[in-house]
Structure 1
């Protein structure tokens, strides 16, 4: 089996996260990397941190100025759409928010987690959704990646 084009450092900072998410995260990130057509130049690493709503709220307040928890945060360490090498950045997810959203949408936890991993990783690469054109491009790519992974379009009802 060929070596992965990037390594994923996985940390769990809160109790309650289901087992087996490392494989789910790796599958999501590698498919996003493949479909984004980004080229890895040398050693590349992504950090994934699974935390709770309290820590995520503090990160969101400190780095984005929003005093509330959120499902996923991305902290890119590379230039948008630039060479993909070295530490690409960090992706953090909040257990309570992810679970609540999955329940509200009536989807499995793993499907929602996969979507958020794809979403967070695309942010590391430079994709964003600040305006309608960016959102359309990013959501279209997310939808195609998720389709490949056997997950329904999360934007179908929005």
Structure 2
């Protein structure tokens, strides 16, 4: 089950379609969805989590807390809507495309994708792009 929670005025328009898309991406990787919670927030909210739980005193667009067990994908994905909007401008993307990339990025982490080395980043980007194409 995928749930969408809001700690800001932002609201998704198409929760059911997004849930179907996320489930499809997870299934295509031979995983199943357990419980994925998206929490949409602002920079202040996510910065506090970043400092308190990860000891990173920086702004970020997404933080994923992974509760995956085996092939059952579960966790909490916190997304700063403010940071996504700024990144969309910087990367010359639409807000929606950047939001979808960040949303699936967290799920891909749960399925073993990493993004610390150049090789890992390349694999993550390829998986993100494939997932984004499946949504369009």
- The reply to whether TM is greater than 0.5 is yes
Q: Which has the higher helix share?
A: 2
RMSD: 2.0
1:128 paired with 2:122, answer no
TM-score scaled by length of structure 2: 0.87
* C-alpha distance 8-110 of structure 1, shift in aligned 2 (>3 A): same
Question: Hey, which bits of structure 1, 4+ residues long, moved more than 4 A?
Answer: none
Q: Normalised by the size of structure 1, how large is the TM-score?
A: 0.76
Q: Which has the higher contact order (CA 8 A, sep 6+)?
A: 1
How far did 1:109 drift? Answer: 1.3
Larger radius of gyration: 1
Contact 2:60 2:83 in 1 (8 A): yes
2:48 pairs with 1:58: yes
Q: CA deviation at 1:24?
A: 5.5
Q: Tell me the number of residue pairs that the alignment of Structure 1 and Structure 2 aligns.
A: 136
Tell me, in whole angstroms, the C-alpha distance in 1 between the residues paired with 2:94 and 2:17. Answer: 13
